[in-house]
Amino acid sequence: MSFLLKLSKLIDWINERVGRSVMWLVLVAVVISAGNALVRKLFNMSSNAFLEIQWYLFAAIFMLAAGYTFLRNEHVRIDVFAGRLSPRGQNVIDVIGILLFMLPMAVLILWLSWPIVMNSIQSGEMSANPGGLIRWPVKVLLPIGLALLILQALSELIKRVAFLMGRGPNPLAKPGGPSAEEELAAAIKQQKAGGQQ
């Protein structure tokens, strides 16, 4: 188990670095988007390349940060049922979800997309739009992002199994302090209490 926990830390480190790097792409996308909008309004000019690079950057942010989002436990959850369970019960549900849904889905999409990506690279696929960009670099983001997500799913599986075996901390435990949702609920409660007085 100690080897697996070291492997988990390495995977976490990789996705942490990738996620922090990808954050800068948000700024780049905003600058390009704002610049493109300004040029279009001020000079009545536009470029398909600038529109497509915005889409490519969004794809890069979404695909490359999926593993980081999972590492930070910030992905979308519906905790109607699981939120009422003990930490052990929540981790059991996560193990089942990772094994039965997350890993099979990510591996299947990776396997099915691989020929499409390879065909795009080999053909040097270009955008059909005038002045558009080459397409294969954005398609390469799919297997890279899925590989990072699969690695992070394995890391999260290791951490949850370690917790269930009593060999590690609860990976679902939030850092100290209330969550954003708890702060919002407290503010609403306080506002309602102030309005009733």
pLDDT of residue 132: 79
Range(s) of the domain holding residue 67: 2-173
- Nearby residues of 82 by Cβ (< 8 Å), 6 or more positions away: 89, 90, 93
The reply to whether 193 falls in a domain is: no
The reply to whether 190 falls in a domain is: no
Question: What are the pLDDT tens digits along the chain (197 aa)?
Answer: 789 889 999 999 999 999 999 999 999 999 998 998 888 888 888 778 888 899 899 999 999 999 999 998 887 776 777 778 888 998 999 999 999 999 999 999 999 999 999 999 999 888 888 877 888 999 999 999 999 999 999 999 999 999 999 888 888 887 666 666 677 778 888 888 876 66
Number of domains the chain contains: 1
* Cα–Cα distance, 186 to 34 (Å, whole number): 37
The reply to whether 181 falls in a domain is: no
pLDDT of residue 180: 62
* Cα–Cα distance, 171 to 156 (Å, whole number): 8
Query: Minimal CA–CA distance to 30: which of 58, 9, 7?
Result: 58
The reply to whether 195 falls in a domain is: no
Long-range contacts of 51-58 (CB under 8 A, 24+ apart): 52/127, 52/129, 52/132, 52/133, 53/133, 54/29, 55/138, 56/133, 56/137, 56/138, 57/25, 57/28, 57/29, 57/32, 58/29
Residue 126's DSSP bridge partners are: 134
The reply to whether 179 falls in a domain is: no
Find out whether 15 and 67 touch, Cβ atoms under 8 Å. Answer: yes
Find out whether 120 and 139 touch, Cβ atoms under 8 Å. Answer: yes
The reply to whether 137 falls in a domain is: yes
Model confidence pTM above 0.75? yes
The reply to whether 189 falls in a domain is: no
The reply to whether 182 falls in a domain is: no
Find out whether 135 and 141 touch, Cβ atoms under 8 Å. Answer: no
Q: How far is CA 141 from the centre of its chain?
A: 13
